[in-house]
Amino acid sequence: MTSTDLGRGARLTTGIAGLVGVVVLGYFITFATLPDVTASDAPGAITAWLADPATASTALTALAVGALSYVLLLVFLGGIRRLVGMWDPDGIWPSVTGLALVLFLAGALVSDAFAWAVPLTRRTAPAMTVPPELVALLDRGWLVALVEAQLALGVAIGAATMAGLAARRRGVQVPRIVLGLGAVAAFAVVPLILMPDTSAVFLATNQLRLLWIVAVSIWLVARPGARTL
């Protein structure tokens, strides 16, 4: 094993955690059924959403699925942080990656707190009245926290890409497609910051970061016996 090699077991664990984590995260997203709070009929749509029994009944399931996705992504991101440290042992990119990943997880957790506070409240206290204005306010808090989390993830991906470029210049076998996707995913946070409330921009940029996770995971799983990364 060289100093840039995670080792077979770590590579398989990191890659499988990343692939399964993306699948679980995709399933978790399907639980987000809150209507558009910026639409002209938002108050009525929110009121109907609050009255829907499914809003409360699926809250705990969604919370459990979300927690599972975080556990898997923690394993994947932990492997990436270690890999960046091996790629760039004397540079700044391992520290940047580590700090950015902490901020990403913090922002993601806060965004989930905003997103699921009302459904859980409806489940535990169904008689409580929740005004649509409060739901809209929490939804904007969710958006701010999630955009900040995605920005931090983009920084982490960018730092990992810079470390990978440095390692490649030293002869380490880092695939160009992984580095290219990393660069695109990192720069994709720019339109997200400029247009955070545009659904198409949000979905497109988020897909690019998920695509990077999938690409890195497949690469790690597909080459378990390689001596260098």
User: Any long-range contacts for 120-123 (C-beta under 8 Å, 24+ apart)?
Assistant: 120/59, 120/60, 120/63, 122/50, 122/55, 122/56, 122/59, 123/56, 123/57, 123/59, 123/60
> Which of 5-9, 41-45, 139-143 bottoms out in mean pLDDT, i.e. has the lowest?
5-9
Would you state the structure tokens that stand for residue 60, as one six-digit string? 């705990």
What's the confidence (pLDDT) of residue 5?
66
What's the confidence (pLDDT) of residue 36?
85
Collapsed DSSP state (helix, strand, coil) of residue 227:
coil
Would you state the structure tokens that stand for residue 220, as one six-digit string? 């790690």
Nearest to 168 by CA among 154, 151, 182, 187: 182
Nearest to 206 by CA among 153, 161, 135: 153
What's the confidence (pLDDT) of residue 4?
55
Q: What angle do CA 79, 81, 87 make, to 5 degrees?
A: 100
Nearest to 54 by CA among 138, 123, 130, 125: 123
- Cβ atoms of 67 and 113 within 8 Å: the answer is no
- Cβ atoms of 37 and 46 within 8 Å: the answer is yes
* CA separation for the pair 160, 180 (Å, rounded): 12
What's the confidence (pLDDT) of residue 2?
45
pLDDT digits (tens, 9 = 90+) for 83-137: 999 999 888 999 999 999 999 999 999 998 898 888 888 888 888 888 889 999 9
Grade residue 228 by pLDDT with cuts at 50, 70 and 90.
very low
Could you give phi then psi for residue 198, rounded to 5 degrees?
A: -95, 115
Q: What percent of the chain has pLDDT over 90?
A: 46
Q: Which residue has the higher pLDDT, 229 or 218?
A: 218
pLDDT digits (tens, 9 = 90+) for 21-73: 999 988 888 888 888 888 888 889 998 988 888 888 888 888 889 889 999 99
Which residue type occupies 26? G
Grade residue 8 by pLDDT with cuts at 50, 70 and 90.
confident
Nearest to 153 by CA among 1, 21, 11, 47: 21
- Cβ atoms of 156 and 97 within 8 Å: the answer is yes
* CA separation for the pair 43, 66 (Å, rounded): 27
- Cβ atoms of 202 and 32 within 8 Å: the answer is no
Grade residue 7 by pLDDT with cuts at 50, 70 and 90.
confident
Q: What percent of the chain has pLDDT over 70?
A: 95
What's the confidence (pLDDT) of residue 201?
85
